[in-house]
Amino acid sequence: MKKLINAVDDVVREQLEGMASAHSDLLKVHFDPNYVYRADAPVAGKVAIISGGGSGHEPMHGGFVGMGMLHAACPGEVFTSPTPDQMYEAAKAVDSGAGVLFIVKNYTGDVLNFETAAELAFADGIRVQNILIDDDVAVKDSLYTAGRRGVGTTVLVEKIVGAAAEAGYSLDACADLCRRVNQYGRSMGMALTSCTVPAAGKPTFELGDAEMEIGIGIHGEPGQKRMPMSTADEIAEMMALEILDDPAYSRTVREWDNDAGSWVDKFLVDEPFQAGDQVIAFVNSMGGTPVSELYAIYRKLAQVCADKGVTIVRNLIGPYITSLEMQGCSITLLKADAEILKLWDAPVNTPGLRWGI
């Protein structure tokens, strides 16, 4: 294992220290329990947006803390869910009284721990919402998930809902928007190589020199299929069509009801893409693939979208939700209405995404 790290046990702490040192104008880091939070939190009158998950996906989530995006992020150990006390303490630190929205990627550990944190925060008098991100069309159920995994749409959700909070949306309005953006987004990923979790010291899985894994998860968990290595065009087209042709997807999610003080089930149906849709297209590096190769993927993606009558109106291309040093990419398409586009274009100032400031 060759990485720019010191002792394996210190990897997350030291990366957070580096981040705090580099971006003290934007964020602070609290240790034990670990969370990253806006330097100016709590922000008076504004709903606080919090996310979190295992480390190893940087810049997500810690790198998205700042004006117009997250108020706090809770990093677990590498590829390991953060604990409820991280989320609960982060909520107390950044709640302004307007409530806290937890953006939760759909992995079993994350879901359980954010639910516990929501109950703890509510018991303290903080109004909370828990919204699930489950956008990965590759697999239904996986190593760490019941239902679809939460992947690339998370980055877009955090930008859009972060802008809504900044604009003064109420907690319920932020939650409704978050749910809708998740329902509008679909993703799929692929890997050329494995990644190596520092504590494991060896690659999570093995891929032959002429093989690739389609539908890979962001923790290296198995995807749909292992195939012979193919061209950028074939890979982009295969992933784009899985997303664009994905039928309606329905499932029941659990959300918090602040009035009843209990969990409620909601039945959700994500409608498929259709000709005439406008989308934000996000081509993401898994960490080890350089941006030059992402442009080869984007080139074909744009052609496939055009053929389907889907218009790309914004794009994001680069390493934003990574799997350590894994080589590969993911594609996310997000149906964007006027409200979503306006929020996407709003100023943001974080280590990982910045414009307008």
According to DSSP, the β-strands at 72-78 and 100-105 are unpaired
Helix (H) or strand (E) holding 250: strand 249-257
φ/ψ of 102, rounded to 5, equals -90, 125
Tell me the sheet residues that pair with 23: none
Q: Which of 254, 303, 319, 288 is nearest to 119 (CA)?
A: 254
DSSP H helices in the chain: 11-22, 84-94, 108-123, 153-166, 171-184, 232-244, 291-307, 338-345
CB of 23 to a second copy, least distance (A): 8
Q: Kindly report the backbone phi and psi dihedral angles of residue 41, in degrees, each rounded to the nearest multiple of 5, phi listed first.
A: -80, 150
Show the site string, 294-313: x = touches a second copy by CB under 8 A, - = not: xxxxxx--x-----------
Q: Are 135 and 186 in contact (CB under 8 A)?
A: yes
Cβ closer to a second copy: 56 or 99?
56
Give the containing element (helix H, strand E) for 28.
Answer: strand 27-30
235 contributes a contact to a second copy by CB under 8 A = yes
End-to-end CA distance of the chain, in Å? 39
Cα distances (angstroms) measured from residue 78 to each of 28, 52, 217: 20, 12, 14
> 185 near 273, Cβ under 8 Å?
no
Catalytically annotated residue among 23, 61, 71, 219: 219
Task: Lay out the site mask for a second copy across 48-87 (x = CB under 8 A, - = otherwise).
Answer: -------xx-xx---x------------------------
Question: From CA 180, how far away is CA 343, in angstroms rounded?
Answer: 13
CA 179 vs. chain centroid, Å, equals: 13
Q: Is 97 helix (H, G, I), strand (E, B) or coil?
A: coil
The one segment of 41-49, 111-119, 263-271, 288-296 that binds a second copy by CB under 8 A: 288-296
Residues 201-220, one symbol each (x = binds a second copy by CB under 8 A, - = not), give --------xx-x--------
357 lines the binding site for a second copy (CB under 8 A): yes
Among candidate residues 252, 248, 256, 243, the one with its CA nearest the CA of residue 310:
243
Smallest distance from a second copy to CB 10, Å = 9
Identify whether 219 is a catalytic site residue.
Answer: yes
Selected from 172, 176, 246, 325, the binder of a second copy by CB under 8 A is: 325
Near a second copy in 145-174, by CB under 8 A: none
Residue 254 within binding range of a second copy, rule CB under 8 A:
no
| Smallest distance from a second copy to CB 54, Å | 12
Q: Which of 97, 201, 261, 290 binds a second copy (CB under 8 A)?
A: 290
Is 23 a known active-site residue?
Answer: no
| Closest distance to a second copy from the beta carbon of 140 (Å) | 26
Question: x/- string (CB under 8 A) for a second copy, residues 94-133?
Answer: ----------------------------------------
Among positions 123, 146, 229, 264, the unique one binding a second copy when judged by CB under 8 A: 229
Contact segment (CB under 8 A) with a second copy among 36-44, 126-134, 138-146, 290-298 equals 290-298
Q: Which residues bind a second copy (CB under 8 A)?
A: 2-7, 11, 14-19, 21-22, 55-56, 58-59, 63, 192-193, 209-210, 212, 229, 231-233, 235, 287-299, 302, 315, 317, 319, 322, 324-325, 327, 329, 351-352, 354-357
Catalytically active residues, by annotation: 57, 219
